[in-house]
Amino acid sequence: MELVKEIYRVTRDFPKEEIYGLVSQMRRAAVSIPSNISEGAARGGDREFIQFLIIARGSLSELETQLLISKDLGYLTPHASPLTLHPSLFTPHVSPRCSRYPGTN
């Protein structure tokens, strides 16, 4: 949830012309990560949970790409949090749950 809050905080300062572009995509990808983990856990079966963890990891990769684009465009300030500048720091929150299941690494 911290990643979601950080993405919302950082994207508030993006140019207004990005509100329906990069801002919207980044916010949706960030929200998708914990949402998919939660939904997968609620499904009850390991197979379904694995699928939702894979989707969450894909959303994390998508967000990482969007953050790199934002950085290259100069939208992220040097004072942005390490989590925003290096979203791979969030990967340990998703990957350990994946590593319990074969085929998700």
User: pLDDT tens per residue, the chain (105 residues)?
Assistant: 888 999 999 999 999 999 999 999 999 999 999 999 999 999 988 999 999 999 999 999 999 999 989 989 999 877 666 566 665 655 555 555 555 555 554
Q: Helix (H, G, I), strand (E, B), or coil: what is residue 64?
A: helix
CATH of domain 2-99: 1.20.1440.60
Give pTM, 2 decimals.
0.78
Summarize the chain as % helix, strand, coil (round to 5): 75, 0, 25
The amino acid at 11? T
d(CA 104, CA 87): 19
Rounded Cα distance between 44 and 46, Å, is 7
Within 8 A by CB and 6+ apart from 8, the residues are 27, 30
For the chain, the domains span 2-99
